[in-house]
Structure 1
Amino acid sequence: PKEYYGEGLDPKVHAELKKAIAQYEAMGAEIVEISLPHTEYAVITYYIIAPAEASANLARYDGVRYGFRAANATSAPEMTTLSRTEGFGPEVKRRIMLGTYVLSSGYYDAYYKKAMQVRTLIRRDFDSAFAKCDVILAPTSPVVAYPIDGKMDPLSIYMLDVYTIPVNMAGLPGISVPCGFADGMPVGMQLIGKPLDEETMLRAAYTFEQANDYHKVLAPLGGNK
């Protein structure tokens, strides 16, 4: 997809993906360019729909029926408040707040309903693309892995999902396999399959793995095989 190989993709990641594409072509695959024009809206759409669903589902966590229960509460309302305060981390609370907002009166149609409509457009993009190809090859992440103690703001972290979120939005099978190294870290290649066609996607991934030894290098480090 041409939208996945433009601005925002680290040149080092792009270089390794180009090698993988060339290798697939050498093994007999036909490479065609496709377009997924609504890709730019995927992250925005996801972070409306997912928090909305999180808000609705996690509203059931009150410390009574299931989930974490605070130990020092003296009343039912206090137990609910403390259970949610102590049991949910910062990111969960952030998503609940955002989801509650987009589902609130006066904002549902403007945000959640609109996001669901865009989700349909994203799915249609993939339907059109799969009329031309069997498997889609894309980056897993736009950048090389950052240090475990790297400081990044939530928005920057959300944007790292720009290539993987559309797959989930469209309800498609996807897999990430290592395809090279940059700055001493593995570069992930994402393969996306047609609906209910995991077999073709897995065969394409397995064929690439058997032609390389990246998984053998990563195995002692706990990487994907």
Structure 2
Amino acid sequence: AGISALGQTYYPPSLAAALDHTWRKDPVLYPERRLQRLIGEFSARNLEGRPYTRAQNVRATFVAAYDRALTDVDVLLMPTCLTTAPAYRERPDFPALLTWAEGNDDRAMGLPGLRNTLPFNYTGHPAITIPCGRSDSLPVGMQLVGRHLNEATLLRAGYTYQHSVPFDELIAVEATR
């Protein structure tokens, strides 16, 4: 939700207020927010913000580590997710949505699927994911990570990859019925 440059993050107050209003207005539409709010409230009441401030205080260490990794290369390539995509299942109507989300595995909230993407929200390094194949007929993505303010290199690398492989075949939707 913020604009990030060189590991410094700015969150526009108007955007935060609009999101908060939306989440409060129809919380059943955002079941993952309930857990985030509970964790946030617990942290505020019992830990007084210490985990957040510690995380912010070590951010520069993580930024520097990725900067060093990118010293001699233009782009880092890694899997986007550590697991394959979950198989498609019909989603129930909204009144049952919360029960559906809570009854699913942790991929219902994006974890552990986001484990490789979250560091770049934290460090501010640009990253892009590109479909690169399939595992058991489910899509697999590769993530490219670049230097700060060098999104153009990532886009060129993604474009080059897309035009070097049978990309239309990679991203084609397979019928499952």
Give the TM-score taking structure 2 as reference length: 0.69
Aligned residue among 26, 33, 41 for 1:87: 26
Verify the 8 A CA contact 1:103 1:112 in the aligned structure 2: no
Q: 1:176 to 1:60 in 2, by over 3 A?
A: closer
- The equivalent residue for 1:178 is 131
Aligned residue among 80, 96, 99 for 2:40: 99
- The equivalent residue for 2:151 is 198
- The equivalent residue for 1:81 is none
Deviation, 1:95, is 0.8
SS at match of 2:163: helix
User: Which ranges of 4 or more aligned residues in structure 1 deviate by more than 6 Å?
Assistant: none
Q: 1:210 is matched by which residue type in structure 2?
A: H
Q: Deviations over 1:98-143 (max 9, x none)?
A: 112223364312x111121233322121111121211110100111
- The equivalent residue for 2:13 is none
Q: Deviations over 1:10-33 (max 9, x none)?
A: xxxxxxxxxxxxxxxxxxxxxxxx
Deviation, 1:148, is 2.5
How many equivalent pairs are there? 144
Please say which of residues 189-198 and 91-100 is displaced more in the overlay: 91-100
Give the TM-score taking structure 1 as reference length: 0.55
Aligned residue among 169, 184, 189 for 2:122: 169
Q: 1:117 to 1:210 in 2, by over 3 A?
A: same
Q: 1:106 to 1:151 in 2, by over 3 A?
A: closer
Alignment RMSD = 2.9
SS at match of 1:123: helix
Q: 1:100 is matched by which residue type in structure 2?
A: E
CA distance in 1, matches of 2:138, 2:54: 39
Q: 1:143 is matched by which residue type in structure 2?
A: T
Higher strand proportion (structure 1 or 2): 2
Select the structure of larger CA radius of gyration. 1
Equivalent positions of 1:43-62 (< 5 A) are: 57=16, 61=20
Q: 1:100 to 1:137 in 2, by over 3 A?
A: same
SS at match of 2:128: strand
Q: 1:118 to 1:154 in 2, by over 3 A?
A: farther
CA distance in 2, matches of 1:113, 1:206: 39
CA distance in 1, matches of 2:111, 2:41: 19
CA distance in 2, matches of 1:139, 1:67: 33
Verify the 8 A CA contact 2:131 2:171 in the aligned structure 1: no
Aligned residue among 33, 48, 60 for 1:120: 60
CA distance in 1, matches of 2:159, 2:19: 42
Verify the 8 A CA contact 1:141 1:188 in the aligned structure 2: yes
CA distance in 2, matches of 1:138, 1:131: 17
CA distance in 2, matches of 1:147, 1:139: 19
Q: 1:200 to 1:185 in 2, by over 3 A?
A: same
Gaps of 5+ in 2: 1-15, 90-102
